[in-house]
């Protein structure tokens, strides 16, 4: 029986909150998964949420705080005293603890850090050194490690001790006496092996995949996806084991990456959620809209140069939307395909000329097909024959140019370290609009 | 030391292939991770790849075939005899085996299925009943289960037996004598508990999260993400444990989902990769471009109705790109935000009116700001005062309308079971273009 968040339930819960109906709240939340409780609390304000939280056991409170998104958490923790924050953080893993500490105002952070359990404090201080978006910032310090010269039974004893601080573990890492990572033994092999065997006899044969602390989080995600890993050990430059990253953190990286790409493609800056304030919504959207506006004004100025021609044959103006829309669509298709191949770990940039040639051939095919269709339609729908031919010639050129721009822009952005998804956003669309207009009117000017 | 796929290495390898340099190939591929070998094989054709494969041990061959993407695999397996396919599939887990069987031509499939080991055959036949994109299609049959009345030591014995067929396991599922899923015990608890305890004493307290066989794969992904699960048990309608899904399969679902959204947003049909053939590229792109073309022709026809006005004041035509581009940008921003919130598991549709009100307020703010900017620019840049005011009034209306369309379209698509990301694609952009033009010319017609 899974918990369901219906409108009726939220309303009933609100009533219970208004009436401070302690018994009802306690009863409905019994045995409910903390992730469900935190989804529920999103519907209420900080004071109300705290009232609910105070009824729950400390470990559930800690899990709920861990599951909140950072923005909500920052606001929510304002109603807590540092001492309360300390007791909650003490129940968490080092990576989650470090994330929360990172979000706290500097003064509170120092106070909370000071109050943490000694072990956790040392671990968190180590983690706080790393930036959020590198392997060091993703990793947790809790892991199970054994020395290569131990026996299986020694390992199991040691795991019993170490496991008290680690709530999930998949693999047991093998290190030498200098903590240098040598490989792993699977828990399964430990469970099914003879107790007197030495660890180095049952160590996994395949070379262990590890990542270094400074590796980019998206590269960590690529590696874990490529090798189908549920956890990956993190080593420092000396090759010493310093932490591990689990797949659930990487799922978050992948989801955020996709969301960021989508925001860039649709022209939204900052990390905007639909339920952010009106002001934040406006601020995140305006800059990109202004790019479009500036482009539109340039378009208008440019068309002004051909005023006489338009007055003579008004139909010239009729086809600007067709030309621009097609240029825009072709450009976005092209850049989107390149962005997708760049995201593929196997992408080899060396075949560049071959790629461009194919893009060119596809553009020729699309351009030719569309121009012929439009020519037929125009000859049938409009009565200006010469203009019909000119529109098709311009359309063909625009398709070819827009394919080229759409293809090379993400490659250039990527080469210089920008997110190539930017190329599917408003900046490039605006450039393509202007390009289309220029090609069209120059064609008209030359041929009509 | 990780394996690196450089241009030099690929060339050197190609030379070795041309010269059938068996020794060199064997030497460089020793101890290399199968995932790296399969990335390497993408650079060569099926015959060459098979030549390399034949040198490798059978379990590595099987892993490589498992890691290939479906399209490549279908082509690659054509050079294999059914008997060879059988030996490879026999080394795989049931879920991977079922995926590969699903891709084979029906005749080969029957033959291969017939030749599989009896256990695996039964499992695969069960899995083939499910569609690819539901929990049943994602799950594997290999799992470790114990009965609620067993002791810890009995469990460990049984796990030793069962574990031979399961290469990774995270949790041990507890079932009753009718195979009904009761909960789980963590491997950790089994390892650290007293050997004489009964399973039901160390079963995890929290209610176990499970999914039913017919659940949509994206919902499985949402659930695993929400509860931070590394694996989830699958039950049938009777509540009996029938399989388990691991997080690595769900990572693939999330990645594919993001890719599909991107393709819809950028107007590409089918599952197109940048290195597909020219013909496939053209075919996947043309339908969406044609939508834009039809829209463009309608635009042209519509502007034709206002021919006299344009001949009188050519400047009217100058501002159509500005109006349309802004309408398009606003529409895509709005729909993208809604698509993002729909992807959020906590989305409650009940707050619809509140949402629409906020969208409206944001649109008013953006519209007002942009209109004023454009009015200022126009009064300064162009000499037609009345038209400047009209452009700003039309722009304001277009921003408000496009926000509305961009917001409700994905909601409607979602309600009727379509992917809401469609709303950011060419179909809606084209509609928005026409809408913008209509509003603009009606405003001109009424006010000028």
In this structure, are B44 and B192 located in the same domain? Answer: no
In this structure, are B118 and B42 located in the same domain? Answer: yes
Q: Which residues of chain A neighbour B345 with C-beta distances below 8 Å?
A: 39
- The structure tokens listed for A387 are 């203009």
Name the nearest CA neighbour of B116 among B91, B145, B138.
Answer: B91
Q: Which residues pair with B245 in a beta bridge?
A: B232
B438 contact A CB<8A? no
Instruction: Please state, in angstroms and rounded to a whole number, the distance separating the CA atoms of residues A154 and A190.
Output: 11
- Residue B1 covered by a domain: no
Side-by-side strand order, sheet with A171-175: A145-147, A171-175, A181-186
What are the pLDDT digits (tens) for A37-61? Answer: 888 888 888 888 889 999 998 888 9
Instruction: Please state, in angstroms and rounded to a whole number, the distance separating the CA atoms of residues A180 and A239.
Output: 5
In this structure, are B127 and B210 located in the same domain? Answer: no
The pLDDT of residue A28: 87
Report pTM. 0.77
DSSP A112: H
- Check whether B228 has a pLDDT greater than 90: no
In this structure, are B284 and B404 located in the same domain? Answer: yes
What are the pLDDT digits (tens) for B238-277? Answer: 999 999 998 888 888 888 888 888 888 877 776 666 667 7
Q: Is residue B285 very low, low, confident or very high in pLDDT (cuts 50, 70, 90)?
A: confident
Kindly indicate whether the ipTM for this predicted assembly is greater than 0.85, answering yes or no. no
A161 contact B CB<8A? no
- Check whether B219 has a pLDDT greater than 60: yes
In this structure, are B122 and B179 located in the same domain? Answer: no
Q: Which residues contact B218 (CB under 8 A, 6 or more apart)?
A: B253, B257
B269 contact A CB<8A? no
Are the C-beta atoms of residues B419 and B260 closer than 8 Å to each other? yes
- Residue B203 covered by a domain: yes
- Residue B262 covered by a domain: no
Boundary-marking domain end, from A133, A166, A198: A133
Q: Do B315 and A330 touch (CB under 8 A)?
A: no
What are the pLDDT digits (tens) for B18-46? Answer: 998 888 998 888 878 888 888 888 888 88
Name the nearest CA neighbour of A331 among B328, B237, B79, B31.
Answer: B328
Write out A53-65 in H/E/C secondary structure: HCCCCHHHHHHHH
> What is the number of domains present in chain A?
3
Task: Give how far Cα A344 sits from Cα of A38, A225, A226, A335, Å.
Answer: 35, 11, 10, 14
A210-239 burial, b at 16+ Cβ within 10 Å, e below that, comes to: bbebebebbebbbbbbbbbbbbbbbbeeee
In this structure, are B367 and B388 located in the same domain? Answer: yes
What CATH number does residue A118 fall under?
1.25.60.10
A358 contact B CB<8A? yes
What are the pLDDT digits (tens) for B49-100? Answer: 889 999 998 888 998 998 888 878 888 888 889 999 999 999 998 999 999 9
In this structure, are B203 and B319 located in the same domain? Answer: no
In this structure, are B212 and B125 located in the same domain? Answer: no
In this structure, are A386 and A302 located in the same domain? Answer: yes
Are the C-beta atoms of residues A399 and A322 closer than 8 Å to each other? no
> Number of C-alpha atoms within 13 angstroms, CB side, residue A107?
2
A162 contact B CB<8A? no
Q: Which residues of chain A neighbour B328 with C-beta distances below 8 Å?
A: 292, 328, 429
- The structure tokens listed for A249 are 């953190």
Q: Which residues of chain B neighbour A314 with C-beta distances below 8 Å?
A: 307, 310-311, 314, 317
Q: Do B297 and A191 touch (CB under 8 A)?
A: no
Instruction: Please state, in angstroms and rounded to a whole number, the distance separating the CA atoms of residues B275 and B283.
Output: 14
Q: Do B303 and A292 touch (CB under 8 A)?
A: no
Of A207, A224, A319, the CB nearest to B31: A207
- Residue B344 covered by a domain: yes
- Check whether B315 has a pLDDT greater than 80: yes
- Check whether B1 has a pLDDT greater than 50: no
Name the nearest CA neighbour of A324 among A420, A391, A409, A404.
Answer: A391
What are the pLDDT digits (tens) for B318-369? Answer: 999 999 999 988 988 888 888 877 776 555 555 677 778 888 888 999 999 9
- Residue A30 covered by a domain: yes
Instruction: Please state, in angstroms and rounded to a whole number, the distance separating the CA atoms of residues A186 and A202.
Output: 9
Residue with tokens 């125009």: A378
Q: Do B336 and A265 touch (CB under 8 A)?
A: yes
B215 contact A CB<8A? no
The pLDDT of residue B287: 84
Q: Which residues of chain B neighbour A336 with C-beta distances below 8 Å?
A: 262-263, 265-266, 268
Q: Which residues of chain B neighbour A230 with C-beta distances below 8 Å?
A: 168, 170, 230, 246-248
In this structure, are B156 and B131 located in the same domain? Answer: no
| Minimal CA separation from A282 to chain B, in Å | 6
How far out from the chain centre does Cα A326 lie? 30
Q: Is B351 exposed, middle or buried (0-12, 13-18, 19+ CB in 10 A)?
A: middle
CA-nearest residue to B11 within chain A is A350
Name the nearest CA neighbour of A287 among A262, A270, A265.
Answer: A270
- The structure tokens listed for A245 are 């990253």
Of B31, B33, B322, the CB nearest to A297: B322
- Residue A322 covered by a domain: yes
SS3 A180: strand
- The structure tokens listed for B318 are 């100058």
In this structure, are A246 and A155 located in the same domain? Answer: yes
Q: Provide DSSP, A186-215.
A: EHHHHHHS-TT-BHHHHS-SSPPP-EETTS
What CATH number does residue B246 fall under?
3.10.580.10
What are the pLDDT digits (tens) for B388-403? Answer: 999 999 999 999 999 9
How far out from the chain centre does Cα B215 lie? 16
- Residue B270 covered by a domain: no
- Check whether B161 has a pLDDT greater than 80: no
The phi and psi torsions of B404 (rounded to 5 degrees) equal: -65, -50
Q: Provide DSSP, A292-351.
A: HHHHHHHHHHHHHTTHHHHHH-THHHHTHHHHHHHHHHHHHHHHHHHHHHHHSTT--GGG
Pairing of strands A171-175, A181-186: antiparallel
SS3 B123: helix
Q: What is the dihedral of CA B115, B120, B122, B124, to 10 degrees?
A: -90
Boundary-marking domain end, from B135, B157, B187: B135
Instruction: Please state, in angstroms and rounded to a whole number, the distance separating the CA atoms of residues A244 and A93.
Output: 12
- Give me the percent of chain B exceeding a pLDDT of 70: 94
Query: For chain A, how many residues are written?
Result: 448
> Number of C-alpha atoms within 13 angstroms, CB side, residue B106?
0
B35 contact A CB<8A? yes
CA-nearest residue to B165 within chain A is A188
**Residue B428: Cβ within 10 Å count:** 23
| Minimal CA separation from A267 to chain B, in Å | 6
Q: Do B282 and A369 touch (CB under 8 A)?
A: yes
The pLDDT of residue B166: 62
Q: Which residues pair with B233 in a beta bridge?
A: B244
Are the C-beta atoms of residues A333 and B268 closer than 8 Å to each other? yes
> Number of C-alpha atoms within 13 angstroms, CB side, residue A41?
28
How far out from the chain centre does Cα A125 lie? 26
- Residue A267 covered by a domain: no
The pLDDT of residue B182: 93
Of A226, A285, A340, the CB nearest to B333: A285
Each residue's pLDDT expressed in tens, for chain A with a length of 448 residues: 456 777 788 888 889 989 988 889 988 888 788 888 888 888 888 888 889 999 998 888 998 998 888 878 888 888 889 999 999 999 998 999 999 999 999 999 999 999 999 999 999 999 999 988 899 999 998 888 899 999 988 888 887 777 666 666 667 899 999 999 999 887 777 777 888 899 988 888 777 899 999 999 988 998 888 888 888 999 999 999 999 998 888 888 888 888 888 888 877 776 666 667 778 878 888 888 888 899 999 999 999 999 998 988 889 999 999 999 999 889 888 888 888 777 765 555 556 777 788 888 889 999 999 999 999 999 988 888 899 999 999 999 999 999 999 988 988 888 888 888 887 778 778 888 899 999 999 999 998 8
| Minimal CA separation from B202 to chain A, in Å | 15
In this structure, are A371 and A435 located in the same domain? Answer: yes
Mutate to test the interface with A, among B262, B361, B409, B430 (most CBs of A within 10 A): B262
Its domain, for residue A232, covers 145-253
* H or E element, residue B165: none
The pLDDT of residue B270: 63
Are the C-beta atoms of residues A276 and B341 closer than 8 Å to each other? no
- The structure tokens listed for B358 are 């906020």
| Minimal CA separation from B244 to chain A, in Å | 15
Q: Which residues contact A27 (CB under 8 A, 6 or more apart)?
A: none
């Amino acid at each position: 029986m899974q918990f369901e968040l219906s409108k009726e339930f939220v309303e009933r819960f609100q009533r219970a909150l208004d009436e401070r109906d302690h018994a009802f709240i306690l009863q409905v939340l019994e045995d409910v998964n903390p992730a469900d409780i935190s989804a529920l609390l999103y519907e209420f304000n900080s004071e109300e949420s705290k009232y609910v939280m105070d009824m729950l056991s400390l470990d559930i409170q800690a899990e709920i705080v861990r599951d909140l998104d950072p923005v909500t958490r920052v606001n929510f923790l304002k109603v807590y005293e540092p001492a309360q924050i300390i007791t909650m953080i003490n129940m968490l893993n080092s990576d989650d603890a470090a994330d929360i500490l990172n979000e706290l105002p500097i003064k509170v952070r120092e106070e909370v850090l000071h109050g943490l359990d000694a072990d956790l404090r040392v671990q968190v201080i180590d983690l706080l050194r790393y930036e959020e978006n590198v392997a060091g910032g993703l990793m947790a310090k809790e892991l199970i490690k054994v020395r290569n010269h131990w026996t299986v039974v020694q390992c199991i004893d040691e795991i019993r001790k170490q496991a008290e601080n680690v709530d999930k573990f998949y693999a047991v890492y093998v290190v030498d006496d200098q903590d240098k990572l040598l490989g792993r033994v699977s828990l399964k092999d430990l469970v099914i092996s003879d107790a007197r065997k030495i660890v180095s006899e049952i160590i996994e044969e395949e070379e262990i995949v590890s990542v270094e602390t400074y590796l980019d989080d998206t590269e960590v995600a690529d590696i874990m996806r490529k090798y189908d890993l549920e956890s990956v050990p993190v080593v420092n430059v000396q090759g010493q084991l310093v932490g591990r990253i689990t797949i659930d953190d990487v799922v978050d990286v992948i989801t955020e990456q996709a969301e960021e790409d989508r925001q860039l493609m649709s022209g939204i800056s900052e990390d905007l959620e639909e339920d952010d304030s009106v002001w934040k919504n406006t601020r995140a959207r305006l800059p990109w809209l202004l790019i479009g506006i500036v482009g539109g004004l340039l378009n208008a100025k440019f068309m002004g140069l051909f005023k006489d021609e338009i007055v003579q044959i008004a139909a010239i103006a009729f086809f600007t939307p067709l030309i621009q829309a097609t240029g825009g669509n072709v450009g976005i298709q092209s850049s989107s395909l390149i962005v997708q191949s760049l995201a593929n770990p196997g992408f080899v940039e060396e075949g560049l000329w071959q790629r461009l040639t194919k893009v060119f051939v596809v553009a020729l095919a699309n351009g030719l097909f569309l121009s012929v269709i439009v020519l037929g339609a125009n000859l049938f729908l409009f009565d200006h024959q010469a203009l019909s031919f000119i529109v098709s010639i311009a359309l063909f050129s625009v398709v070819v140019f827009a394919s080229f721009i759409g293809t090379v822009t993400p490659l250039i952005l990527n080469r210089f370290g920008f997110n190539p998804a930017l190329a599917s956003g408003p900046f490039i669309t605006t450039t393509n609009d202007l390009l289309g207009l220029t090609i069209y009117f120059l064609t008209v000017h030359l041929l009509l």
